[in-house]
């Protein structure tokens, strides 16, 4: 995990504005992510999932990112986001994903979010250079941790199944 620097007051303010932007657009981000996952033929599992199963913990993942942008050093938020990531990995194992499908699905979410961050940047001309650095470190660190913990949970579930046979 990346060690985040302490943000300046400007960096914290812009991170909070980005958090609000993401929270306001969460339904749109989720819909675009679902569309991207649905079009990705390398992820056949979503064809068999209901809308609710596909979304499972993804709204909480986005909410956790928004909260983390506002308070990146809160240990409870770190715990909560780890729980959501582990649950997501386990649920995808239960839904018969393979690990590459899990990673591609999370990559689609990151790509969709980055597109929206670019839209935020167009609306917030002060989201540049060092002012945006802290927020972008938080976003990418959050997604790296999400991927790592989801995969760890996925693999642990598969190993438990193998041991119980």
**Can you give the pLDDT of all 165 residues of the chain as single tens digits?**
568 889 999 999 999 999 999 999 999 999 999 999 989 988 876 667 888 888 888 999 999 999 999 999 999 999 999 999 999 999 999 999 999 999 999 999 999 999 999 999 999 999 999 999 999 999 999 999 999 999 999 999 999 988 886
**Long-range Cβ contacts of 77-82 (<8 Å, 24+ apart):** 81/142, 81/145, 81/146, 82/145, 82/149
Indicate the CATH number for domain 9-163.
1.10.490
Q: What angle do CA 110, 68, 2 make, to 5 degrees?
A: 70
Q: Model-level pTM greater than 0.85?
A: yes
Q: Tell me the C-alpha distance between 99 and 89, whole Å.
A: 9
């Amino acid at each position: 995990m990346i060690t985040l620097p302490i943000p300046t007051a400007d960096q914290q303010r812009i991170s909070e504005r980005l958090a609000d932007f993401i929270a306001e657009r969460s339904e749109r981000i989720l819909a675009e992510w679902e569309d991207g996952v649905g079009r990705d033929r390398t992820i056949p599992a979503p064809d068999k999932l209901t809308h609710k199963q596909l979304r499972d913990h993804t709204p909480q993942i986005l909410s956790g990112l928004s909260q983390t942008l506002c308070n990146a050093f809160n240990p409870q938020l770190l715990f909560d986001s780890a729980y959501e990531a582990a649950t997501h990995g386990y649920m995808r194992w239960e839904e018969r994903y393979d690990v590459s499908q899990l990673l591609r699905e999370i990559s689609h979410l990151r790509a969709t979010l980055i597109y929206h961050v670019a839209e935020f940047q167009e609306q917030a001309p002060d989201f540049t250079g060092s002012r945006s650095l802290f927020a972008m470190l938080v976003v990418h660190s959050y997604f790296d941790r999400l991927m790592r913990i989801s995969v760890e949970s996925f693999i642990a579930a598969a190993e438990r199944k193998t041991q119980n046979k």
